[in-house]
């Protein structure tokens, strides 16, 4: 049994002021594997005070010194990737192959990309008018990360914050504390000065709100639901702090009649189901041109039936459970809502997969003949549930794709390059995938509309954590 009853504050593992605890559960078995102590406002105050003190010197540290520590962190992260993968599988149920190849690997992948962006970053430059512009750290940053891609999101926030010379307080999801603990250990091993990085466990209403409202925090960076992101923004408003948000999505996957259906349709199905559907940029709405719609439904059904579900500890391409009981119940309700609203259930449905009687496993589910006003087409399900919607024309596809409060990613499949570029130009989304190819580490990630504001990753993600100062050249 694991006991996480210390926070990382001012360069040391410390006993919290709070005594509130919660169980750490394994999603595949529903068994308790540990106990976590949750923080309170006083714990946040301690962490912020440590970060403030550290900022007085860390904010003035030369770029070369900050880079050397990040390079050391990269070496350590690469050496401990297997530990990270095992932690993520245990705490949120990602199958171990996925944890190794994508979840844990994202930590080192983003770090390498940030180092490249940091090397190219000029923290001072002369403007065309002769004035001198400097990029300087903002101050103490509050970082709130989710459970579905734990180390991915931690690295997207912690690395650019520290690279830019900021100090930070991290509140990871209370549901994925093992990976966060490991990340703090790696920061400590790398030798970052005390107070530069601080870790406080806790839930959103207590620790998250205390961070967002704290007058000594200069910036909040949040990843999670759109509802929670709005609360962070409201809490941050009184102190007029900068807020960066990466929120939900309901990404369209537009497949034209001339696309390679045998490749793109199954790819879209497995893309939606990957990570058990618990990815904000998953292609959850498959829009198919009417003339090939029936064939696409058949191909999607074949792929959905082929999607295995199983033990996260076993290697393979199967999917695992949802991360907790609340999410399991929510997904079951939305599947039933799809049935009740008249969508055609092609594969899956409510309940656990056959042969599984414990854990928060759900059936990979495919709905056809969905209209874009149905609940399952508008709400983020966050489970392995794909909806298929026919369209008539290019204009029709664009209109349906953009008819959503979200705008995170969008997917386009066609053999016509001119059409692809034409459609991409009109899609209101922050990231585009074309014919199965997405973007790589180092590119900006983020969305339009209620999918958030700001960008994470690479040079754009690094710039989120800088303040801008301008001065004239010195003269007497």
Per residue in 349-384, pLDDT (tens digit) is: 999 999 999 999 999 999 999 999 999 999 999 999
Question: Would you state the pLDDT for residue 119?
Answer: 98
Which residues, including other chains, have CB under 8 Å from residue 269's CB and lie 6 or more apart? 286, 300, 303, 304, 307, 366, 386
Given the residues 246, 267, 289, 464, the one annotated as active site: 246
CATH superfamily of 2-247: Aldehyde Dehydrogenase; Chain A, domain 1 (3.40.605.10)
Q: Is 246 marked active-site?
A: yes
How does pLDDT run across 3-53, given as a tens digit for each residue? Answer: 999 999 999 999 999 999 999 999 999 999 999 999 999 999 999 999 999
Q: Which pLDDT band, with edges at 50, 70 and 90, does 55 fall under?
A: very high
Q: Which pLDDT band, with edges at 50, 70 and 90, does 131 fall under?
A: very high
Same fold: 2-247 with 252-441: no
The whole-number average pLDDT for the span 231-254 is 97
The whole-number average pLDDT for the span 55-61 is 97
Domain ranges of the chain: 2-247, 252-441
Distance CA 448, CA 430 (A): 6
Q: Which CATH architecture has domain 252-441?
A: 3-Layer(aba) Sandwich (3.40)
Q: Which pLDDT band, with edges at 50, 70 and 90, does 249 fall under?
A: very high
Q: Which pLDDT band, with edges at 50, 70 and 90, does 335 fall under?
A: very high
Question: Would you state the pLDDT for residue 336?
Answer: 98
The whole-number average pLDDT for the span 204-227 is 97
Distance CA 6, CA 198 (A): 12
For the whole model, what pTM was predicted? 0.97
Distance CA 292, CA 261 (A): 9
């Amino acid at each position: 049994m694991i006991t996480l009853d210390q926070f990382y504050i001012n360069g040391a593992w410390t006993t919290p002021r709070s005594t509130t605890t919660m169980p750490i559960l394994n999603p595949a078995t529903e068994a308790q594997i540990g106990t976590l102590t949750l923080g309170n406002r006083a714990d946040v105050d301690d962490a912020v005070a440590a970060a403030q003190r550290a900022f007085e010197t860390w904010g003035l540290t030369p770029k070369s010194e900050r880079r050397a520590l990040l390079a050391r962190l990269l070496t350590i992260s690469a050496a401990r990737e297997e530990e990270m993968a095992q932690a993520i599988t245990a705490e949120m149920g990602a199958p171990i192959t996925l944890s190794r190849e994508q979840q844990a690997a994202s930590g080192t992948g983003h770090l390498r990309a940030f180092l490249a962006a940091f090397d190219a970053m000029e923290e001072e430059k002369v403007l065309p008018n002769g004035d001198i512009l400097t990029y300087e750290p903002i101050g103490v940053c509050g970082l709130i990360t989710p459970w579905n891609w734990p180390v991915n999101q931690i690295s997207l926030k912690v690395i650019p914050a520290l690279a830019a010379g900021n100090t930070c307080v991290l509140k990871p999801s209370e549901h994925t504390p093992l990976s966060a603990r490991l990340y703090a250990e790696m920061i400590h091993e790398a030798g970052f000065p005390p107070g530069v990085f601080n870790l406080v466990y806790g839930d959103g209403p207590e620790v998250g709100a205390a961070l967002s409202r704290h007058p000594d925090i200069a910036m909040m960076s949040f990843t999670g639901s759109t509802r929670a992101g709005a609360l962070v923004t409201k809490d941050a408003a009184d102190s007029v702090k900068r807020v960066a948000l990466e929120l939900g999505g309901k990404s369209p996957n537009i497949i034209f009649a001339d696309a390679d259906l045998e490749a793109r349709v199954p790819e879209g199905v497995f893309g939606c189901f990957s990570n058990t559907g618990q990815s904000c940029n998953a292609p959850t709405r498959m829009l198919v041109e009417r003339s090939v719609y029936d064939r696409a439904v058949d191909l999607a059904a074949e792929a959905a039936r082929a999607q295995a579900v199983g033990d996260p500890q076993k290697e393979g391409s199967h999917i695992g459970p949802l991360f907790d009981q609340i999410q399991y119940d929510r997904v079951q309700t939305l599947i039933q809502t799809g049935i009740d609203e008249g969508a055609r259930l092609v594969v899956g449905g409510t309940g656990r997969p056959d042969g599984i009687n414990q854990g928060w496993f759900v059936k990979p589910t495919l709905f056809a003949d969905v209209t874009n006003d149905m609940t399952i087409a508008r709400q983020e399900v966050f489970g392995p549930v794909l909806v298929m919607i026919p369209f008539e024309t290019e204009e029709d596809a664009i209109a349906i794709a953009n008819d959503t409060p979200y705008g995170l990613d969008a997917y386009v499949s066609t053999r016509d390059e001119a059409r692809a570029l034409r459609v991409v130009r009109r899609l209101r989304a922050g990231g585009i995938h074309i014919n199965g190819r997405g973007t790589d580490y180092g590119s900006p990630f983020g969305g339009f509309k209620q999918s958030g504001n700001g960008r994470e990753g690479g040079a754009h993600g690094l710039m989120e954590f800088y303040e801008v100062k301008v001065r004239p050249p010195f003269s007497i």
